[in-house]
Amino acid sequence: MSTEHNPSGGGTPGYETRDANPASLVKFAIGLALTLVVAWAGMWWLLGYFGQTQDQGPPAAPFRALRERQLPPLPRVQVEPLRDLDEVRAEQSDAINKYGWVDRSHGVVHIPISDAMKLILERGGLPARANAGASGAAAPQAPAKAQLGQGEGAQ
């Protein structure tokens, strides 16, 4: 039985028998180095040319601007959401617990909600809505006008 693994049947081995040509390797290395030097010089010249002929604008990170506090563009993330919520609740509480003008020229004011509920109870409730008849509820006989005058409840 033969131990030869050469399928061609000839006496040539299954690997390359010639060595690499040193002269062609040196020529390739010199060509590659020259190409890299030419590309580097070209880019250096091109960036210098554009740096002189075009406006570059402000520097990317000026130190003066770093010292000043700059706010990001809108919408901003809440830094202290609990404090913001307390402020909103205080504004809403003032709106429902104090007297004030809504429209001074027409004599419309807003009153504290507790006083408004007392007035509604004293005057017999709110007038029915227009679509109350569709649900089977009876419309009131005479709608109550609960309008405050300019002198009542306004400060």
Q: Tens digit of pLDDT for each residue in 1-55?
A: 555 555 555 677 777 778 888 899 999 999 999 999 999 999 999 999 988 888 8
The answer to whether position 116 is within a domain reads yes
* Residue 70 placed within a domain: no
Residue 119 lies in a domain: yes
User: Is 122 contained in some domain?
Assistant: yes
Which DSSP category does 104 fall into?
G
What length is written for the chain?
155
Q: Which range marks the domain in which residue 106 is found? A: 98-127
Q: What is the reported pTM?
A: 0.31
The residues, ordered by sequence, that sit 6+ positions from 12 with a Cβ below 8 Å of its Cβ are: 6
Nearest-5° angle of CA 108, CA 114, CA 115? 50
pLDDT at position 9: 59
Shortest CA distance to 122 belongs to which of 78, 80, 152, 84?
A: 152
Q: How many domains does the chain have?
A: 1
The strand ranges marked E within 2-132 are 100-103, 108-110
Query: Per mean pLDDT, which range of 58-67, 93-102, 119-128 is the poorest?
Result: 58-67
Examine residue 33 and state whether it is found in any structural domain, yes or no.
Answer: no
Sort strands 108-110 and 100-103 into parallel, antiparallel or unpaired.
antiparallel
Instruction: Give domain status of residue 136, yes or no.
Output: no
Does residue 148 lie in a domain region? no
51, HSE (Cβ side, Cα atoms, 13 Å):
7
Is 56 among the domain residues?
A: no
Q: Provide, rounded to the nearest whole percent, the portion of the chain with pLDDT above 90.
A: 24
